[in-house]
Every structure is written in C-alpha cells, then in structure tokens.
Amino acid sequence: MLIAPSILSADFAKLGEEIRAIDKGGCDYIHIDVMDGMYVPNITLGPVVVKAIRNETEKVFDVHLMIEEPSRFLEAFADAGADILTVHVEAAKHLHGTLQQIRALGVRPAVSLNPGTPLSMVEPVLGDVDMVLLMTVNPGFGGQKFIPYSLERIRMLAEMRKERGLDFLIQVDGGITLGNVEEVVAAGVDVVVAGSAIFNAPDVSEAIRQFKERGVK
C-alpha cells in the first residue's frame, strides 16, 4: 500500500515545513487538493502554489483536481510539477480526450468518482488511466466520515480490473483512519489518501509509519 498524505489538513502558514515533515516521514505521494469553489463548495490552491512547493521535495505530486472542466488547467499543473493529474468524471465534458491530454503532457492520468457516481461511468476509460480514485466522502473538505458503502465499490472496481486484466491503481480519499485502513486495503486499495488522520496526529512520521504497518496486504 502507498500512502498519500493530503496537505489540505496541513498548516498552510508553514506549508514548506509540513511537506518536508511528511517527506522525511516516508510518505509515497503528496496529495494536493485543488478546489475551485464551483465544482466543490471550497477554494484551495492553484499552479502557483504547486510550483512553489515543488522545490521542497522529490516525492510524487498527486494532484487531485476538483474543478469544472479541468482541461483548461492541465498544462499549467503539468508545468508546475504535477506527476499525477486526477480529473473527476463528473466535471470533464470530454473525459477520454482530457485523459489523453494529460498523457501527452508526460503526466500520469487518473480519474475520480464521487460516492454517488456509478462505476459504469468510468468503465470506458479504465484502459486509459494509471489510477482510479474512489471518493469515500463527498469532496470539498477534510475531516469527514468514511461512507461505509465505499467498501462494496472498492471490491466491485477491483473485480472489474481483474476481469479486464488491467493494472491501474485503486486509490481512496476521504475519512481514512488507522481504524479503517486495513479494511480498505483488504477490499483492494493500493493508494490511501489521509489528511486529518496524519496532520492532526501528534507526530506525522509516526502516523505515516502506523498507516504503512497496517496497510501491508
């Protein structure tokens, strides 16, 4: 299992320091939540901030775009240093074209689904993505509660992957804690995003270590 701390729950007044702490703590990806106040009811950060923090770490930048019509900003985020660009199936008018555009920029394409979106919506593009992100809360804010039905969705997606002989990663995001990480990994998850569970812990390195320990399949 790979661990991707979400910096949404970090202290933005000392973002560089927070990023160095999760880097040193052994995280795999750094999950960066981009929100536009339209697709989700919150606003966070854009390419300028991604570029600024790119100097702080060599870790994989896993950029989760919660924005309307993400194709407008793919190049800006690629130039800023994104390694993975995740777009929402509900927000991209031409999903297949958008994923191709990400690949052409030399970035790993991923697609995300909200808890109420049927898995069949991404079925046509499963062969075109490196990762599928299942939202396990409704997007917009950190610190929400994991939606239990998500476990069934993880199992269904893992089954679809197996049936089609594909190898995209399955990522979950929202409400993941030390209390449920074992369960989601057992259901088929490869990459776990955790925001509040890591940044609100007394020691971020220790929290990452405990997640990794519990996430061994």
What x/- string results for residues 46 through 85 when contact with Zn ion is judged by CB under 5 A? ------------------x---------------------
Q: Which one of the spans 6-14, 95-103, 123-131, 184-192 is the region binding ligand DX5 (CB under 6 A)?
A: 6-14
What x/- string results for residues 145 through 184 when contact with ligand DX5 is judged by CB under 6 A? ----------------------------xxxx--------
Q: Which of 33, 36, 62, 130 is catalytic?
A: 33
The vertex-201 CA angle with 88 and 3, nearest 5°, equals 40
Active site residue 11: no
Q: Which is nearer to Zn ion, 116 or 127 (CB)?
A: 116
Whether the Cβ atoms of residue 200 and residue 207 lie closer than 8 Å to each other:
no
User: Shortest gap between Cβ of 194 and ligand DX5 (angstroms)?
Assistant: 5
Active site residue 33: yes
The whole-angstrom distance between residue 25's C-alpha and the CA centroid of its chain comes to 19
Task: Give the residue among 95, 140, 93, 94 at the shortest CA–CA distance from 114.
Answer: 140
Tokens (6 digits) for 85:
């660009």
How many beta carbons lie within 10 A of that of residue 95, not counting itself? 22
Burial of residue 13, with CB atoms counted within 10 A of its CB: 0-12 exposed, 13-18 middle, 19 or more buried: exposed
Q: Which of 3, 8, 125, 134 binds ligand DX5 (CB under 6 A)?
A: 8
The vertex-44 CA angle with 43 and 49, nearest 5°, equals 145
Task: Specify which residues 170 forms β-bridges with.
Answer: 132
Helix locations, the chain, DSSP H:
15-24, 47-54, 74-80, 95-104, 150-163, 181-187, 196-199, 204-214
Q: Does the protein bind Zn ion through residue 33 (CB under 5 A)?
A: yes
Subset of residues 90 to 149 that bind ligand DX5, contact rule: CB under 6 A: 137, 139-140, 142-144
Q: Which is nearer to Zn ion, 33 or 165 (CB)?
A: 33
Burial of residue 120, with CB atoms counted within 10 A of its CB: 0-12 exposed, 13-18 middle, 19 or more buried: exposed
Is residue 143 annotated as involved in ligand binding? yes
Instruction: Select from Zn ion, ligand DX5, none the partner in contact with residue 215, using the beta carbon and a kind-dependent cut-off of 5 to 8 Å.
Output: none
Residues annotated as catalytic are 33, 173
* Binding site members: 6, 31, 33, 64, 140-143, 173-175, 195-196
Residues at the site binding ligand DX5, with contacts judged by CB under 6 A: 6, 8-9, 31, 33, 64, 137, 139-140, 142-144, 173-176, 193-197
> Which residues line the annotated binding site for substrate?
6, 64, 140-143, 173-175, 195-196
